[in-house]
């Protein structure tokens, strides 16, 4: 057994030497204390005007990420946090890259949901006496309150931008610019008024845009098969039809029985084969391919007695099954045999395809349904019935009574619902204002080509949406919005819309806001030349679709504010905006400027819970960003994580798809945060007596391990830069985490302890390590700045020496010294690091067997048959004991034999642990000599004969101790 000390001297207690060791010191706390510290840091940025100053004085070009306006209704949720934090990460990165970042947050303030909220807060009596102007004023107040609340939340997430001057779609200048876009489209012939079937919501009494619809699962329609009696036909064509006492019918199928009163024709496909089948006493005509299906539906055989081509049936006239009027056969390509009977009941007032084919055949448009979704007098015997309820029922009953109902069955399919009221909509022809997408579709499609879509699949999503979309219905029958600035000749009903009228209204709105449209008389709203021209006019009461509002933001914000530019560098929103804001902005911009309003579009997915379910109040799985930051009612269950944890989560996910979030993930994020924070803390705490100006060691004089870690830093910088440049923040997340844990904590800083604590304070050995620590801490602060902005600033503020700039965000982006790149060194360390892992594994086994305590109690003997590794080890021999944190390392020429002593272990590749990528054998023995009470290394050079003044210190510590006490 080894003796405690081979010389037998009593060893001083460690306590006596504690003050002579350079122990770390810092005020930078281990815990983030985000609830207090983050607002302090934000206040610092605000007081120092860091964002504003950088926006004005940075040397680079202006960078404009144009904010898609959230709706000014209710509180911001976690999806908004994902969106805004992504934007802020990009902006802060650009600030660090030296760009003049100009971010103007915006809010979408008009529209039905706000109107409904305001109305819900009022009593029935109040609602009845409400004028549009009063409603608008209440809606405005509601929107402004929501803006103010949401703005506070955004700032708490540390979103940088011009929050003093956000844009709001209700601002008079904004409204005026929007009227300008509308005016130009109108003058270019892209705006028209027409009767057209639109998605109509009886529950909100307004037309809806495609973006305002949703298609919930589980909608069941009452579908019906109906016989339309044939009134007249060419008997040579249908000889069978002449059979005495038998009647001939077309069999149609519809999922909307209430549209039967609007029927004006039956439509066949000219090229399809039709069959005449017998059904009891009747003959039915339907597509041949659908006979088997109808047999199944009716549960009886329908023998085919004749076949005829669709086009041959043109000219046949059927009779309406309820009203006494004809329903002629027409031909259309949209008729298929995918469902139904191949005979399409055609009601031009209730369907887009029906409307188009009806126009071709001059059928006219019949839509006997009013705003409330009730039958009008044009649908005799059903007047006043709600089409989706009792109206449907009454039509079915009527068909049954008349003997024309073949079958009714429940039909489960996608059906459009009003996304706000969650009630089904109908197709209904009304007079609306439209933007003729057809007129500028080619320009819009060309514009899509010129944009960078991130991820690239975004382009594949928006292209067909624009290629196939019908004209854009832009009018809404509501009060809370921007008026459609049109006058009508009271006598002729003709619309008045000229450059002069638009510019006049625009001027009024710019000064007084769009309330003026409701406040002022028609005469006042008209330009001088139309006031006394012998005609009388009245003004339009419809407002514009809110998508036209937000879709004009490029004109109202990018083109209007001198500090911004059009087109924007980037638009960034959820992937649903291909259908919404990306598209409406594209259409208005392509129509009037011939290009997209953005150079690049980045999309993200939605936030789901940890099981991949949609978040909903009823499931109780909603993550509230406020609770994440400030903590919940039970702080043990919902600790106050602060905004940085939320931001770290945003960086960790692959946002191109839907992203999960929940308690487990947040707690994992907090762990990663702590690792980064504590790495930074360790760096800071060893710099308390260091000032690069006086103490920095030149690169050439740094040790090899320093060179190696700077090489790694250069690689990390490159990787992180590429991650931010390509918006792949998860690569940043993985890289920085790995660097802090694997390269720094587990390796470089572990090895550095001896240099930092034990060496004399001003020795080159220690100063060179501190030189590297200073480089590391500054660079880590910069690299994490875009994401962990508070931590980055907190680190910067705690750097003990004077930094040239007061905020990390003024320090510029990381830049590797070209000398740092050293691929040759990497080759060496690629050999050494696996050996270090093998050594650590070996020491761990020895420790587990309680053969030694600290690794400093060990002496290593290493043998390797790998010549290259051997060369590296010989070259590094003097440093090896520090690299392995042991007291001595011997290199052997032959493989150490298994011995008999119990303090002996022999581990090599292929033995107990084969996972190490190194071919070496490591033997551990107890180190010889005495334990030095200052550095805890074991040494033979201890004792009064060697250092009479300090007999218990080792040879290294004596020198350091002398320097420190003198
Ligand atoms: Zn010592």
Give pLDDT, residue 696. Answer: 97
Query: Between 492 and 851, whose confidence is greater?
Result: 492
Helical ranges in 520-606 per DSSP H: 522-525, 546-550, 553, 581-593
The answer to whether residue 965 scores a pLDDT higher than 80 is no
How far does the centroid of ligand 1 lie from the alpha carbon of residue 938, in Å? 8
Q: How far apart are CA 881 and CA 860, in angstroms?
A: 8
How far does the centroid of ligand 1 lie from the alpha carbon of residue 955, in Å? 7
Q: How does residue 317 score in pLDDT terms, banded at 50, 70 and 90?
A: confident
How far does the centroid of ligand 1 lie from the alpha carbon of residue 949, in Å? 14
Tens digits of per-residue pLDDT, 913-934? 456 677 888 888 889 998 998 8
How far does the centroid of ligand 1 lie from the alpha carbon of residue 348, in Å? 96
- Count CB atoms within 10 A of the CB of residue 737: 18
How far does the centroid of ligand 1 lie from the alpha carbon of residue 746, in Å? 23
Tens digits of per-residue pLDDT, 430-484? 888 999 998 999 999 999 999 999 999 999 999 999 998 878 889 988 899 999 9
Are residues 222 and 411 in contact, defined by beta-carbon separation less than 8 angstroms? yes
Q: How does residue 905 score in pLDDT terms, banded at 50, 70 and 90?
A: low
Please state the pTM of the whole predicted model: 0.83
The answer to whether residue 620 scores a pLDDT higher than 70 is yes
How far does the centroid of ligand 1 lie from the alpha carbon of residue 933, in Å? 7
How far does the centroid of ligand 1 lie from the alpha carbon of residue 834, in Å? 28
Q: How does residue 19 score in pLDDT terms, banded at 50, 70 and 90?
A: confident
Give pLDDT, residue 902. Answer: 45
Q: Are strands 600-604 and 888-891 parallel, antiparallel or unpaired?
A: unpaired
Lowest model confidence (mean pLDDT) among 32-46, 173-187, 589-603, 885-899:
885-899
Give pLDDT, residue 243. Answer: 57
Which residues, including other chains, have CB under 8 Å from residue 680's CB and lie 6 or more apart?
A: 28, 777, 780, 781, 791, 795
The answer to whether residue 740 scores a pLDDT higher than 70 is yes
How far does the centroid of ligand 1 lie from the alpha carbon of residue 694, in Å? 27
How far does the centroid of ligand 1 lie from the alpha carbon of residue 874, in Å? 24
How far does the centroid of ligand 1 lie from the alpha carbon of residue 16, in Å? 13
Q: How large is the average pLDDT for residues 129-151?
A: 95
Averaging pLDDT over each range in 243-257, 346-360, 746-760, which range is the top one? 746-760
How far does the centroid of ligand 1 lie from the alpha carbon of residue 741, in Å? 28
Give pLDDT, residue 727. Answer: 97
How far does the centroid of ligand 1 lie from the alpha carbon of residue 856, in Å? 11
Long-range contacts of 147-153 (CB under 8 A, 24+ apart): 147/72, 147/107, 147/109, 149/75, 150/70, 150/72, 150/75, 150/76, 150/80, 150/107, 151/105, 153/75, 153/76, 153/80, 153/625, 153/626
Share of residues in the chain with pLDDT > 70 (%): 95
Query: How is 367-436 classified by DSSP, letter by letter?
Result: --B-TTSBB-TTSTT-TT-BIIIIIHHHHHHHHHHTT-EEEEEEEE----EETTT--B-EEEEEEEEEE-
Are residues 935 and 922 in contact, defined by beta-carbon separation less than 8 angstroms? no
How far does the centroid of ligand 1 lie from the alpha carbon of residue 236, in Å? 117
Q: How far apart are CA 731 and CA 3, in angstroms?
A: 52
Are residues 607 and 661 in contact, defined by beta-carbon separation less than 8 angstroms? yes
Give pLDDT, residue 14. Answer: 42
Give pLDDT, residue 3. Answer: 38
Classify 950 as helix, strand or coil.
Answer: coil
How far does the centroid of ligand 1 lie from the alpha carbon of residue 930, in Å? 10
Give pLDDT, residue 63. Answer: 98
Q: How large is the average pLDDT for residues 25-47?
A: 96
The answer to whether residue 299 scores a pLDDT higher than 80 is yes
Averaging pLDDT over each range in 13-27, 351-365, 589-603, 861-875, which range is the top one? 589-603
Give pLDDT, residue 901. Answer: 45
How far does the centroid of ligand 1 lie from the alpha carbon of residue 471, in Å? 84
How far does the centroid of ligand 1 lie from the alpha carbon of residue 18, in Å? 12
The answer to whether residue 853 scores a pLDDT higher than 60 is yes
Q: Which two structure tokens, joined as six digits, stand for 318?
A: 């059927």
The answer to whether residue 900 scores a pLDDT higher than 50 is no
The answer to whether residue 842 scores a pLDDT higher than 80 is yes
How far does the centroid of ligand 1 lie from the alpha carbon of residue 243, in Å? 118
Share of residues in the chain with pLDDT > 90 (%): 66
How far does the centroid of ligand 1 lie from the alpha carbon of residue 7, in Å? 16
How far does the centroid of ligand 1 lie from the alpha carbon of residue 124, in Å? 87
Tens digits of per-residue pLDDT, 751-798? 999 999 999 999 999 999 999 999 999 999 999 999 999 999 999 999
The answer to whether residue 7 scores a pLDDT higher than 70 is no
Q: Which two structure tokens, joined as six digits, stand for 679?
A: 């790495």
How far does the centroid of ligand 1 lie from the alpha carbon of residue 953, in Å? 5
The answer to whether residue 11 scores a pLDDT higher than 80 is no
The answer to whether residue 393 scores a pLDDT higher than 80 is yes
How far does the centroid of ligand 1 lie from the alpha carbon of residue 763, in Å? 15
Q: How far apart are the first and last CA of the chain?
A: 39
Q: What is the C-alpha R_g of the chain?
A: 39
**Enclosing H/E stretch for 906:** strand 905-908
How far does the centroid of ligand 1 lie from the alpha carbon of residue 755, in Å? 12
How far does the centroid of ligand 1 lie from the alpha carbon of residue 766, in Å? 15
Give pLDDT, residue 149. Answer: 96
How far does the centroid of ligand 1 lie from the alpha carbon of residue 952, in Å? 9
The answer to whether residue 168 scores a pLDDT higher than 50 is yes
How far does the centroid of ligand 1 lie from the alpha carbon of residue 884, in Å? 17
- Of 545, 492, 544, 490, the closest CA to residue 522 belongs to 490
The answer to whether residue 888 scores a pLDDT higher than 50 is yes
The answer to whether residue 260 scores a pLDDT higher than 60 is yes
How far does the centroid of ligand 1 lie from the alpha carbon of residue 840, in Å? 22
Burial class (CB within 10 angstroms; exposed 0-12, middle 13-18, buried 19+) of 964: middle
- Is the backbone peptide bond immediately before 789 cis, with ω within 30 degrees of 0? no
Give pLDDT, residue 238. Answer: 65
**Enclosing H/E stretch for 769:** helix 764-784
Give pLDDT, residue 122. Answer: 87
Q: Which two structure tokens, joined as six digits, stand for 401?
A: 């009574």
How far does the centroid of ligand 1 lie from the alpha carbon of residue 878, in Å? 16
Tens digits of per-residue pLDDT, 645-698? 999 999 999 999 999 999 999 999 999 999 999 999 999 999 999 999 999 999
Lowest model confidence (mean pLDDT) among 262-266, 305-309, 521-525:
305-309
Give pLDDT, residue 218. Answer: 86
Q: How does residue 13 score in pLDDT terms, banded at 50, 70 and 90?
A: very low
How far does the centroid of ligand 1 lie from the alpha carbon of residue 926, in Å? 17
Give pLDDT, residue 653. Answer: 97
Q: How far apart are CA 54 and CA 91, in angstroms?
A: 11
Give pLDDT, residue 959. Answer: 84
Q: How far apart are CA 559 and CA 629, in angstroms?
A: 36
Mean pLDDT computed over every residue of the chain: 91
């Amino acid at each position: 057994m080894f003796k405690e000390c081979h010389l037998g001297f009593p060893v001083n207690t460690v306590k006596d030497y504690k003050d002579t060791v350079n122990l770390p010191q810092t005020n930078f706390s281990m815990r983030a204390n985000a609830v207090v510290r983050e607002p302090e840091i934000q206040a610092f940025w605000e007081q120092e005007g860091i964002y504003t100053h950088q926006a004005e004085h940075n040397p680079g070009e202006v960078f404009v990420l144009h904010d898609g306006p959230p709706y000014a209704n209710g509180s911001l949720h976690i999806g908004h946090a994902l969106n805004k934090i992504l934007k802020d990460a990009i902006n802060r990165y650009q600030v660090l890259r030296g760009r003049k970042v100009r971010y103007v947050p915006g809010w979408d303030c008009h529209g039905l949901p706000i109107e409904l909220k305001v109305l819900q807060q009022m009593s029935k009596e109040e609602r009845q006496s409400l004028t549009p102007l009063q409603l608008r004023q209440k809606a405005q107040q509601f929107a402004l309150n929501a803006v103010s609340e949401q703005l506070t939340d955004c700032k708490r997430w540390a979103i940088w931008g011009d929050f003093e001057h956000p844009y709001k779609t209700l601002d008079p200048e904004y409204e005026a610019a929007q009227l300008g876009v509308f005016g130009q489209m109108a003058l270019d012939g892209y705006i028209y008024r027409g009767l057209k079937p639109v998605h109509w919501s009886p529950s909100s009494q307004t037309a809806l845009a495609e973006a305002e619809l949703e298609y919930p699962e589980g909608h069941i329609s009452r579908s019906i098969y109906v016989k339309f009696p044939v009134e007249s036909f060419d008997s040579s064509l249908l000889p069978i039809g002449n059979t005495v006492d038998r009647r001939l019918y077309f069999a149609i199928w519809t999922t909307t029985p209430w549209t039967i009163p609007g029927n004006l024709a039956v439509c066949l496909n000219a090229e399809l084969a039709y069959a005449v089948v017998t059904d009891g006493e009747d003959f039915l005509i339907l597509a041949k391919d659908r006979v088997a299906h109808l047999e199944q539906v009716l549960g009886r055989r329908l023998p085919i007695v004749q076949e005829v081509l669709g086009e041959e049936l043109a000219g046949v006239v059927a009779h309406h099954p309820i009203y006494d009027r004809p329903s002629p056969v027409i031909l259309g390509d949209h008729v298929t045999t995918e469902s139904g009977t191949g005979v399409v009941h055609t009601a031009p007032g209730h369907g887009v395809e029906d409307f188009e084919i009806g126009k071709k055949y001059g059928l006219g448009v019949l839509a006997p349904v009013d705003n409330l979704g009730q039958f009008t007098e044009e649908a005799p015997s059903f007047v006043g019935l709600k089409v989706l309820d009792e109206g449907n029922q009454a039509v079915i009953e009527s068909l049954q009574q008349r003997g024309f109902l073949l079958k009714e069955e429940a039909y489960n399919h996608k059906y459009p619902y009003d996304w706000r009221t969650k009630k089904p909509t109908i197709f209904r022809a009304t007079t609306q204002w439209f933007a003729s997408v057809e007129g500028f579709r080619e320009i819009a499609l060309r514009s899509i080509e010129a944009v960078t879509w991130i991820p690239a699949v975004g382009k594949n999503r928006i292209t067909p949406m624009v290629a196939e979309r019908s004209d854009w219905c832009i009018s809404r029958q509501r009060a809370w919005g921007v008026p459609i600035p049109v006058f009508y000749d009271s006598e002729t009903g003709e619309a008045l819309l000229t450059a002069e009228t638009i510019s006049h209204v625009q001027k009024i709105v710019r000064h007084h806001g769009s309330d003026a449209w409701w406040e002022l008389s028609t005469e006042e709203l008209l330009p001088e030349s139309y006031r006394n021209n012998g005609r009388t006019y009245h003004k339009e009461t419809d407002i514009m679709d809110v998508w036209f509002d937000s879709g004009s933001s490029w004109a109202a914000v990018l083109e209007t504010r001198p500090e911004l530019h059009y087109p924007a560098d980037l638009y960034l929103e959820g992937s649903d905006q291909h259908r919404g804001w990306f598209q409406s902005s594209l259409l208005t911009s392509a129509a009037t400027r011939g290009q997209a309003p953005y150079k690049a579009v980045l999309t993200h997915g939605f936030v789901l819970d940890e099981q991949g379910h949609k978040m909903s109040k009823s499931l109780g799985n909603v993550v509230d960003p406020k609770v994440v930051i400030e903590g919940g009612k039970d702080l043990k269950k919902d600790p106050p994580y602060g905004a940085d944890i939320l931001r770290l989560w945003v960086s960790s996910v692959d946002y191109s798809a839907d992203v999960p979030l929940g308690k487990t993930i947040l707690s994992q994020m907090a762990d990663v945060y702590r690792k980064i924070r504590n790495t930074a803390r360790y760096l800071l705490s060893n710099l308390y007596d260091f000032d690069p100006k006086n103490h920095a060691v030149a690169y050439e004089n740094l040790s090899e391990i320093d060179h190696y870690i700077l090489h790694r830093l250069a690689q990390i910088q490159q990787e992180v830069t590429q991650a931010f440049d390509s918006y792949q923040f998860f690569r940043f997340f993985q890289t920085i985490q790995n660097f802090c844990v694997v390269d720094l904590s587990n390796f470089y800083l572990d090895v550095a302890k001896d240099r930092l604590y034990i060496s004399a304070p001003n020795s080159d050995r220690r100063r060179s390590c501190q030189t590297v620590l200073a480089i590391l801490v500054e660079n880590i602060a910069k690299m994490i700045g875009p994401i962990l902005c508070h931590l980055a600033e907190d680190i910067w503020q705690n750097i003990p020496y004077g930094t040239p700039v007061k905020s990390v965000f003024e320090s510029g982006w990381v830049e590797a010294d070209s000398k740092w790149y050293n691929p040759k060194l990497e080759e060496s360390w690629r050999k050494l690091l696996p050996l270090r892992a093998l050594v650590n594994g070996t020491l761990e086994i020895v420790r587990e067997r309680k053969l030694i305590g600290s690794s400093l109690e060990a002496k290593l003997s290493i043998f390797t048959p790998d010549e290259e590794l051997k060369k590296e080890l010989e070259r590094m021999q003097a440093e090896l004991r520090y690299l392995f944190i042991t007291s001595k390392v011997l290199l052997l020429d032959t493989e150490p034999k298994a011995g008999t002593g119990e303090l002996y272990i022999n581990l090599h590749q292929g033995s107990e642990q084969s996972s190490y990528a190194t071919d070496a054998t490591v033997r551990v023995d107890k180190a010889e000599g005495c334990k030095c009470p200052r550095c805890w290394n074991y040494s033979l050079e201890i004792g009064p004969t060697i250092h009479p003044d300090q007999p218990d210190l080792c040879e290294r510590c004596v020198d350091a101790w002398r320097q420190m006490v003198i």
